Amino acid sequence: MLAIAILAILCISGCQTSALGRSQFKMMSETDMDQMGAAAFTELSKQTPPSRDARENAMVTCVANAITGSLVGSNSNTRWEVRVFADETPNAFALPGGKIGVNTGLLQVARTQGQLGAVIGHEVVHVIEGHANERVSAEIASQTALQAVSVVADASNPMYGQMVGLLGAGVQVGVMLPFGRKQEREADLLGLDLMATAGFDPRESIALWQNMAKAGGGQPPEFLSTHPSHGTRIRDLEQRIPIAMPLYEEAKAQGRRPRCF
Q: Which residues pair with 99 in a beta bridge?
A: 81, 95
Q: Which stretch binds Zn ion (CB under 5 A): 80-88, 140-148, 180-188, 231-239?
A: 180-188
187 touches Zn ion (CB under 5 A): yes
Question: In angstroms, what is the minimal distance from the CB of 240 to Zn ion?
Answer: 15
CB of residue 221 to Zn ion, shortest distance in Å: 9
Nearer to Zn ion by C-beta: 34 or 184? Answer: 184
What residues contact residue 150 under an 8 Å CB cut-off, 6+ apart?
157, 159
In angstroms, the CA 66 to CA 72 distance is 13
Shortest distance (Å) from residue 160 CB to Zn ion: 29
Strand order in the sheet with 81-85: 81-85, 99-103, 92-95
Q: Residues touching Zn ion: how many (CB under 5 A)?
A: 3
Phi, psi of 190 (to 5 degrees): -70, -30
* Closer Cβ to Zn ion, 151 or 184, answer by number: 184
Q: Evaluate the CA torsion angle 40, 44, 197, 215 in order and state its sign.
A: negative
Asked if residue 93 binds Zn ion (CB under 5 A), the reply is no
Contacts of 11 (CB under 8 A, 6+ apart): 25
CA 207, CA 218: separation in Å to the nearest integer?
21
184 is catalytic: no
Answer for which of 223, 224, 248, 251 binds Zn ion (CB under 5 A) is 223
260 belongs to the binding site for Zn ion (CB under 5 A):
no
Interface with Zn ion in residues 239-258 (CB under 5 A): none
- Point out which span in 108-116, 220-228, 238-246, 249-257 binds Zn ion (CB under 5 A): 220-228
How near is the Cβ of 6 to Zn ion at its closest, in Å?
29
The residues annotated as belonging to the active site are 123
